[in-house]
Amino acid sequence: MPRLTIALGIVLVVLGLISYAATAFASWTALIPSILGLLLLIFGLVGLKRPKLGIHVALVIAAVGIAGTAMNVMQLGDLFAGTAERPAAVIVSTITFVLLIAYVIAGVRSFINARRWKDQQAT
């Protein structure tokens, strides 16, 4: 999980920088994926030494990111209808949302597998 966290962090940093440039540097909010990515990158690096701490914190950050991007994801209908106020924000938020959902699912599966492995070792 730490390596996946680091990779996701890098992807989100790049996504945020691209969206910021694509929106002509108009608003710092285009950098939100980069901020989330930087935090994930930091805690992924922490997770290399202390996996429990790093990955748990990273998953909390991902959950907050999911909640934060959900509002723009709800505007997908407007995007498809061509009436979205900020189409770039909807697109970038949706990409971020999907990546974070996949990450949380992978994290939960990892915790379940670790628990099973630990239980098997105890018997």
pLDDT at 27: 84
Model pLDDT, residue 23: 86
SS3 50: coil
61-70 residues labelled b (16+ CB within 10 A) or e (exposed): bbeebbeebe
Let me know: does 61 contact 43? Beta carbons within 8 Å.
yes
pLDDT tens string, the chain, 123 residues long: the values are 999 999 999 999 999 999 999 988 888 888 999 999 999 999 999 999 998 999 999 999 999 999 999 999 999 988 998 888 888 889 999 999 999 999 999 999 998 888 888 778 876
Q: Report residue 69 as tokens.
A: 């991007």
Rounding to the nearest 10 degrees, give the CA dihedral for residues 76, 80, 86, 92: 60
User: Which one-letter DSSP state was computed for residue 75?
Assistant: T
pLDDT of residue 34: 96
